[in-house]
Amino acid sequence: MITGEMVWKKSLQTHGSAGPSGLDARGWRRLLSSTICGSGASDLCSALAALARKLATTTCHHLDAFTACRLIPLDKKPGCRPIGIGEVIRRVVGKCIMAVVKEDVRRVAGNLQVCAGQQAGGEAAIHAMREIFAQEDCEAVLLVDARNVFNSINRKTMLHNIKIKCPSLATYADNTYSEPSNLYVNRSGSNKARVLESREGTTQGDPVAMAMYALGMSVLQDVIAFEKTKVKQVAYADDLSGAGKLQDLSHWWGLIQANGPTIGYTPNAAKSFLIVKPEHYDGTVNIFSGSGVVVTKEGQRHLGAVIGTEEYKKEYVG
């Protein structure tokens, strides 16, 4: 299904800065679509299509140049977020792969992980949690935050899960993530870059990264499912949110803490919020005592929206 025409279309949709090679998306679009290149542009599109098909169907080796990234450390104030900027050619190929396997990924990820390409997935998660919180039998909503998950999710476990759950993506994922990627860090005042190895997590900006993450997280979601915890829940990538009774939420939180780190999902209690209805606030302090979770009866941001009292919503919007 991947043709030169598909590569051409995906290249026009690709933007961003360059990887270690120094050729950014604008340069690649010129090579792949400019009439100045004549038939060379069409030939290059066909060659990249052949490369994509091979990476998706055949075990390949020596892909160091294809998977290499330029590493940018962003200051989170406090903390640091490492951003690996991959090669544009990898982004174009990744978009072609996802165009073919996206329906498989959606089906496997299900309707409780809404980052796998579902239409308006974020909005669905926001409205679902808001409606559940408004129900009489719901006592609180727990919003779980995790530490730097995209860069720390267990790669070996993730690839194993993808092989079983989504075989159409497995070969490409294994080719690009089974071996460590080289990360090049430019040092000021030096012409030589320092090279680090990326052994865990996914690459920022890689079109298949979100799909791989969703499939990797599905194992944890099976463990904390509603059938086992009585907690109504939804996830947008690493943002887990659950709603229900306080005792059930306490059990749910315990399962996340016990099972999350084995796949690289380490919950961060200091940035996790329990939004509780005012009439249940006193009981919450006892149940979640010592957990480190921030308890509030006012409200908190949820995926760019807000859950809480009407007064807090107005304050947030203001």
Q: Residue 298's CB: how many other CB atoms inside 10 A?
A: 14
Confidence at residue 63, expressed as pLDDT on a 0 to 100 scale: 92
Q: Can you give the chain as a three-state secondary structure string? A: CCCHHHHHHHHHCCCCCCCCCCCCHHHHHHHHHCHHHCHHHHHHHHHHHHHHHHHHHCCCCCCHHHHCEEEEEEECCCCEEEEEEECHHHHHHHHHHHHHHHHHHHHHHCCCECCCCCCCHHHHHHHHHHHHHHCCCCCEEEEECECCHHHHCCHHHHHHHHHHHCHHHHHHHHHHHCCCEEEEECCCCCCCCEEEEECCCCCCCCCCHHHHHHHHHHHHHHHCCHHHHCCEEEEECCEEEEEECHHHHHHHHHHHHHHCHHHCCCECHHHCEEEECHHHHHHHHHHCCCCCCEEECCEEEECCEEEECHHHHHHHHC
Q: Any idea which of 2-6, 187-191, 254-258 has the lowest mean pLDDT? A: 187-191
pLDDT tier for residue 34 given thresholds of 50, 70 and 90:
confident
Q: What percent of the chain has pLDDT over 90?
A: 26
Residue 207 phi, psi (nearest 5): -60, -25
pLDDT at residue 174 greater than cutoff 90: yes
Q: What is the average pLDDT value for the chain, to the nearest integer? A: 87
Burial class of residue 169 in the structure, from the number of CB atoms within 10 Å of its CB (0-12 exposed, 13-18 middle, 19+ buried): buried
Give the mean model confidence (pLDDT) for residues 17-38: 87
Is 73:84 a contact under the CB 8 Å cutoff?
no
- How many residues appear in the chain? 318
- For the whole prediction, is pTM greater than 0.85? no
Pair of tokens at residue 47: 């060659």
Choose between 47 and 300: higher pLDDT: 47
What would the pLDDT profile of 216-240 be if each residue is shown by its tens digit? 888 888 888 888 889 999 988 888 8
Which sequence spans correspond to the domains of the chain?
4-110+155-209, 121-151+217-317
Under the banding of pLDDT at 50, 70 and 90, the label for residue 10 is: very high
pLDDT at 188: 64
Confidence of residue 94 (pLDDT cuts 50, 70, 90): very high
Phi and psi angles of residue 288, each rounded to the nearest 5 degrees, phi first = -100, 15
Mention every residue, 6+ apart, whose C-beta is less than 8 A from residue 188: none
Alpha-carbon distance of 44 to 89, in angstroms, equals 11
Q: What is the pLDDT of residue 190?
A: 63
Q: What pLDDT shows up at residue 74?
A: 81
Question: Which residue, chain included where needed, has tokens 């990234």?
Answer: 69
Tens digit of each residue's pLDDT (9 = 90 or more) over 101-133: 999 988 888 888 888 877 888 888 899 999 998
Percent above pLDDT 70 for the chain = 98
Q: Which fold has domain 121-151+217-317?
A: Alpha-Beta Plaits (3.30.70)
Instruction: Report the sign of the C-alpha dihedral through residues 253, 257, 261, 263, in that order.
Output: negative
Residue pair 189/178 in contact by the 8 Å Cβ criterion: no
Q: What is the pLDDT of residue 260?
A: 86
* Tokens linked to 29: 């679009």
Q: How far apart are CA 252 and CA 259, in angstroms?
A: 11
pLDDT beyond 70 at 189: no
What integer pLDDT is reported at residue 38 of this predicted model?
77
pLDDT tens digits for range 39-84: 888 999 999 999 999 999 999 999 999 999 888 888 877 777 778 8
